[in-house]
């Protein structure tokens, strides 16, 4: 297969059959989904989120019991229990630790590396990408603003030109708006080591998400996944892309309320930031677990417009690889003189 040439670097780095990563989605990327991704040949990232350290430990152990394949753990640097989670993953000798939500300190990256794990960092802009490499990141994930959940400020098409085309010192994985094998082929040919998907894996049979949650995804168009507003730099709320509903409106009201409390010195910035994150964790649980698709958070990337059926996870990954190979064969027939 032609695809083998293009996935070699990514699969060797991750230790899996195909360098197709499942993004760490809070309440979604649980042991069942992460292990199923590994069993299907991909690489899953367990969501650390705001989980208490004892809960995260149980989930890491459970995932290992459900699959013999490697997986990683995603930590949000802004989470209240982040330091304890970092201690845990280093102690448990995880294969990969992915830092999200902020820029990890150099000492934190090196702690992970010293534990024997590879450190992967999200790079939302070119300057951040270079800074992370300088701090010792083993690989980067470029996530464009098309993605779901917490997003950066730059579109994937720009990040590819600024970073993927300029950096070859570490493997680079591409995320944001990817849902087809044909698109996967395109970024692999550009030099990517692999891809990460989230929205498409929500639409897998193995995903824990409530049927109502998946049904909203099935019916949604790309334009329905919108980024939340950001009113004031004093409240460093990272924009979130989700399907617009009552929950989106409630988040806007929360930001205005927190800004008013900041004005009146009733709260400090760190506490305000934690309240923002607590809102999303709670709202996401309402939608994913309870099926409240009106007031819960429907985090989704714009690739939601490309997914319209629920499939077994193995079928999703097999289809990605088959379509990627077909695209390579098509391009070969065009480029090679007969």
SS3 292: coil
SS3 144: coil
Does 280 have pLDDT greater than 90? no
CB-based contact 266:280 (threshold 8 Å): no
Average pLDDT over residues 225-231: 88
Average pLDDT over residues 253-267: 90
Label residue 190 by pLDDT band (50, 70, 90). Answer: very high
Q: How far is CA 142 from CA 61, 84, 153, 203, 301, in A?
A: 29, 26, 12, 23, 14
Q: Provide φ and ψ at 98, rounded to 5°.
A: -105, 125
Q: How far is CA 105 from CA 74, 121, 136, in A?
A: 15, 11, 10
Average pLDDT over residues 225-246: 87
Looking from the CA of 42 toward its CB, the CA atoms found within 13 Å total 27
Sheet holding 225-227, edge to edge: 149-150, 240-243, 225-227
CB-based contact 112:135 (threshold 8 Å): no
Does 50 have pLDDT greater than 90? no
Does 29 have pLDDT greater than 80? yes
**CATH 3.20.20.70 occupies which residues in the chain?**
3-209+307-335
CATH of domain 3-209+307-335: 3.20.20.70
Q: Which residue has the tokens 């845990």?
A: 88
Q: How far apart are CA 94 and CA 224, in angstroms?
A: 37
Q: Which two tokens stand for residue 54?
A: 């004892």
SS3 122: strand
Between 267 and 185, the higher pLDDT residue: 185
Q: How far apart are CA 301 and CA 222, in angstroms?
A: 8
Query: Over the stretch 87-137, which tens digit does the pLDDT of each residue have?
Result: 999 999 899 999 998 899 999 999 999 999 999 999 999 999 999 999 999
Q: Which two tokens stand for residue 256?
A: 């205005």
Average pLDDT over residues 256-281: 87
DSSP state of 302: G
Helices (H) and strands (E) in the chain, counts: 13, 11
Closest CA to 110 of 123, 124, 122, 121: 121
Label residue 270 by pLDDT band (50, 70, 90). Answer: confident
Q: How far apart are CA 281 and CA 294, in angstroms?
A: 16
Q: How far apart are CA 135 and CA 141, in angstroms?
A: 15
What integer pLDDT is reported at residue 25 of this predicted model? 94
Label residue 338 by pLDDT band (50, 70, 90). Answer: low
Average pLDDT over residues 14-38: 96
Task: Quickly count: other Cβ atoms within 10 Å of residue 300's Cβ.
Answer: 26
Mean pLDDT of the chain: 94
Label residue 281 by pLDDT band (50, 70, 90). Answer: confident
Q: Which two tokens stand for residue 154?
A: 């730059």
Dihedral, CA atoms, 186, 189, 194, 198, nearest 10 degrees? -10
DSSP H helices in 225-268? 246-263
Longest pairwise C-alpha distance within the chain: 74
SS3 100: strand
SS3 283: helix
SS3 172: strand
Average pLDDT over residues 328-333: 95
Does 57 have pLDDT greater than 70? yes
Angle at 188 between CA 186 and CA 194, to 5 degrees: 125
Q: How far apart are CA 289 and CA 28, in angstroms?
A: 9
What integer pLDDT is reported at residue 239 of this predicted model? 86
Read off the pTM: 0.94
């Amino acid at each position: 297969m032609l695809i083998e040439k293009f996935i070699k670097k990514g699969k060797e780095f991750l230790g899996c059959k195909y360098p197709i990563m499942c993004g760490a989605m809070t309440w979604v990327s649980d042991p069942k989904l992460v292990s199923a991704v590994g069993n299907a040949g991909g690489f899953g990232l367990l969501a650390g989120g705001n989980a208490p350290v004892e809960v995260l430990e149980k989930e890491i152990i459970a995932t290992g019991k459900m699959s013999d394949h490697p997986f990683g753990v995603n930590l949000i640097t802004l989470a209240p229990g982040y330091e304890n989670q970092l201690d845990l993953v280093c102690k448990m000798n995880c294969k990969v630790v992915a830092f999200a939500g902020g820029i990890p300190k150099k000492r934190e990256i090196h702690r992970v590396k010293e534990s024997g794990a590879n450190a992967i960092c999200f790079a939302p802009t070119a300057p951040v990408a270079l800074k992370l490499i300088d701090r010792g990141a083993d690989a980067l994930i470029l996530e464009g603003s098309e993605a779901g959940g917490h997003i950066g400020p730059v579109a994937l098409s720009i990040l590819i030109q600024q970073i993927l085309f300029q950096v070859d010192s570490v493997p680079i994985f591409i995320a944001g708006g990817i849902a087809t094998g044909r698109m996967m082929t395109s970024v692999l040919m550009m030099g990517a080591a692999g891809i990460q998907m989230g929205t498409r894996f929500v639409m897998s049979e193995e995903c824990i998400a409530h049927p109502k949650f998946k049904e909203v995804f099935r019916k949604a168009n790309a334009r329905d996944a919108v980024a939340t507003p950001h009113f004031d730099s004093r409240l460093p709320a990272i924009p979130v892309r989700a399907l617009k509903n009552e929950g989106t409106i409630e988040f806007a009201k929360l930001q205005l309320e927190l800004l008013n409390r900041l004005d009146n010195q009733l709260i400090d910035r760190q506490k305000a930031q934690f309240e923002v994150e607590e809102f999303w964790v709670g709202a996401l649980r309402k939608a994913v677990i309870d099926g409240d698709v009106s007031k819960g958070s429907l985090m989704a990337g714009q690739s939601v417009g490309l997914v319209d059926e629920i499939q077994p996870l193995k079928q999703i990954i097999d289809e990605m690889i088959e379509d990627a190979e077909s695209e390579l064969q098509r391009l070969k027939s065009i480029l090679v003189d007969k």
